[in-house]
A and B are shown apart, each in its own frame.
Chain A
């Protein structure tokens, strides 16, 4: 018996039975199978994505449209009531919630840039 309790003759039989097998063909077959699996997984992901997108569209399309209408109505609301004359038409691009939102956005962006440049200069 060997130190690991093995029968030396049996051990020798197993050692001799272990052959060094040529591997190019099986390697190519394995790689071809992995490529197939990769494509299947990719197809599965794309299909799942499409189904999720379709279901989301079916569930959320109505509420999203309502929200978009509400938002566009809110943004077009005049800040000061100038009536319906030519003055109202002239000032319409500026006299809306959207114009205020744009100005606030622009100012915030500039301030952020200034703050960042200050922090970098320090």
Chain B
């Protein structure tokens, strides 16, 4: 007989989501396995602290587990998961009062599993941006969300989202050109 652990990895995601909505733990486990990488990457871009990112990712999946029955269309899981991730991040920010700019991310508290090179440089550079700029930029570039989707997910006005992305991208481009110059120097 085919076991769940052999069966679920071959199933289309909409089917696994439908099963998870009925309370099937194995199906939910499969969803976590499939989506953990994208959620953790998103959280890593948001906060730059990989241990915190993993903890936030766990909170996202816990929230998904508690609310998945409310999801009406299994096909909408991907967008819904992203909204849950954004809401968990916003909740974390509110708790730490970070949106008011009182606390800037240090970008130094990293786990031992942190990678080097471009990933680290991107996260370091993102850590220099203001919280709302970083969030909008990450959602736009990393998640591919449109300006309207970002405005809906974050509750920020559309104009603010656009200017946040423009400002954040500008700062990141400067950092990227500096990165390119320094790597050319290293190479020579």
Contact = CB atoms under 8 A, between A and B. Distances in A.
B89 interface: no
A37 B118 contact: no
A110 interface: no
A33 B29 CA distance: 12
Given A23-B32, A26-B36, A27-B32, A34 B65 contact: yes
Contacts of A7: 169, 173
A19 to B, nearest CB: 7
Decide if the interface of chain B is mainly helix, strand, loop or mixed.
helix
Contacts of B128: none
Interface stretch (A9-17, A61-69, A80-88): A9-17
**Chain A interface category by residue count:** 20 to 34
Given A10-B141, A16-B119, A31 B32 contact: yes
Contacts of B38: 18
A30 B119 contact: no
B169 A10 contact: yes
Contact of A10 (B28, B58, B65, B176): B176
Interface residues of B, number: 32
Interface in B146-171: 146, 169
A121 interface: no
Contact of A37 (B40, B66, B173): B66
Contact of A11 (B62, B119, B141): B141
B33 interface: yes
A16 B118 contact: yes
A26 B141 contact: no
Given A10-B176, A31-B25, A26 B122 contact: no
A70 interface: no
B172 interface: yes
Interface in B24-62: 25, 28-29, 32-33, 36-38, 40-41, 45, 54, 57-58, 61-62
Given A13-B118, A26-B32, A37-B65, 5 more contacts: A10-B172, A14-B45, A14-B122, A17-B122, A34-B62
Interface of A: 4, 6-7, 9-11, 13-14, 16-21, 23-24, 26-27, 29-31, 33-34, 37
Interface of B: 25, 28-29, 32-33, 36-38, 40-41, 45, 54, 57-58, 61-62, 65-66, 115, 118-119, 122-123, 140-142, 144, 146, 169, 172-173, 176
